[in-house]
Amino acid sequence: MNYEYLLFDADDTLFDFPKASSRAFDAMCRTHGIPYTPEAYQLYHEINLELWAAFDRGELTKEFITLERYVRFLKALDLERDPAACNRDYLAALGEGVYPLPYAEEVCRELKARGHRLYIVTNAVASVQRSRLRGSVFAELFEAAFISEEAGAAKPSRAYFDYVRRQLPGLSADNALVIGDSLSTDIQGANNAGLPCCWVNPAGKPRREGLRVDYEIASLRKLLDIV
C-alpha cells in the first residue's frame, strides 16, 4: 500500500455535479414559475462559476455567493422573485441529486476492501453535501467528510488541510494522497499543504505551470494502479 489515507474531492471527482445542478435548477424554476431553457441555465451557470472562482481566490464568502448568484440571475432576466427562496429550493433539490460518476463506486469499494481509509475533502455547502452523502453509496465507504464550511477554511488554503490533519493525526505526507479534478482547489491545495496529489483529468486539460502534479489520470480506475 503506497497511501493509507485517500482524500477525495466530491463534485466532479466522485459525483456528477453538472447533472445534479441542472436538475436542481430545473426543479427550482418549476417551483418559482421561471421558464427553464438551456439559455437560462447557461446564464446561471456562468454567474455561478464567476462567483465561485472569486471564492477560490479568497475574495468572497460562501454565504455571499449562494445568495448573490440568484440576485444577479434574476436581475439579468428582469424577474421579480425572492433570490433567497430560489437559492433555498435549489440547494434542497441539489441535496437530493446523487449521481456517482462512472467507476466511482466500483473503485471506492475496491479501495476500501484493500484497507485504504477514504475521506471527502470538499468546499461544498455543508447541508447539501451531508444530504448527498447520506443518500449515496459512499456513505458506507467513507469514514468522514471534511467540509470547508465546518472547517472554518477552504481549499486550497493550508489552513483547511491543517484542519484535516488535526482530525486525522496519523495522516502525513508519506501516507496520504489528495485526489481531485480541480487544479485551483484540489491540486493547489495539496501543493500548499505539502501532500502528494492525483489530478483526475478526463478531458485532457493542460497542466498549469509551476504546479506540482504527482499523478494524472483520465479515469478513476487508474487510481487502483497508483495507491
Catalytic residue among 9, 11, 56, 89: 9
pTM over 0.75: yes
Q: What is the pLDDT along the chain (227 residues), one digit of tens a residue?
A: 999 999 999 999 999 999 999 999 999 999 999 999 999 999 999 999 999 889 888 899 888 999 999 999 999 999 999 999 999 999 999 989 889 999 999 999 999 999 999 999 999 888 888 988 888 889 999 999 999 989 999 999 999 999 999 999 999 999 999 999 999 999 999 999 999 999 999 999 999 999 999 999 999 999 999 99
DSSP assignment of 199-217: EE-TT-PPPPTT---SEEE
Domains of the chain, start order: 5-16+100-225 (3.40.50.1000), 17-95 (1.10.150.240)
Enumerate helices (H) and strands (E) in the chain, giving the number of each: 9, 6
Alpha-carbon distances of 2 from 10, 43, 224, 227, rounded to whole Å: 22, 44, 11, 5
Is 16 known to be catalytic? no
Task: Give the pLDDT score at 173.
Answer: 97
Q: How far apart are CA 53 and CA 220, in angstroms?
A: 25
